[in-house]
Amino acid sequence: MNHDPNCIFCKIVEGKIPSKKVYEDEDVLAFHDIHPWAPVHFLLIPKEHVTSMAHVEERHAAVLGRIMTLVPKLAQQEGCRPYPEGGFRIVCNTGADGGQEVPHVHFHVIGGPRPWLKG
């Protein structure tokens, strides 16, 4: 599995930096955002280092699909109300113009009662 020794998310995957885990399996890690925008705010990442969505290849389809299927279950587990009254937002920033701050593909799952700090 590809890792970047300078990537903060790779360090979290390796256990070198602590995180408040939401979910983990052999390919995916979910953990709480350290600067939450809403009552529910966690990140889902592939454990393999992929710099951004601009770097995604066909071989990443399975892990990205797995991440998307985990979103509704984990969102509800973490406190989002069920659809349609409740719900959540999924955000994936890509590159400087897209607002990406950490160069490791990641999906923000944001939800809970409004108003939110951002968004």
Q: Report, as residue numbers or ranges, the catalytic residues.
A: 106
- Which token pair is 94? 């890509």
Q: CB–CB of 52/60 below 8 Å?
A: no
Report which of 115, 99, 100 is spatially closest to residue 37, judged by C-alpha positions. Answer: 115
Cα–Cα distance measured from residue 41 to residue 74, given in angstroms and rounded to the nearest whole number: 11
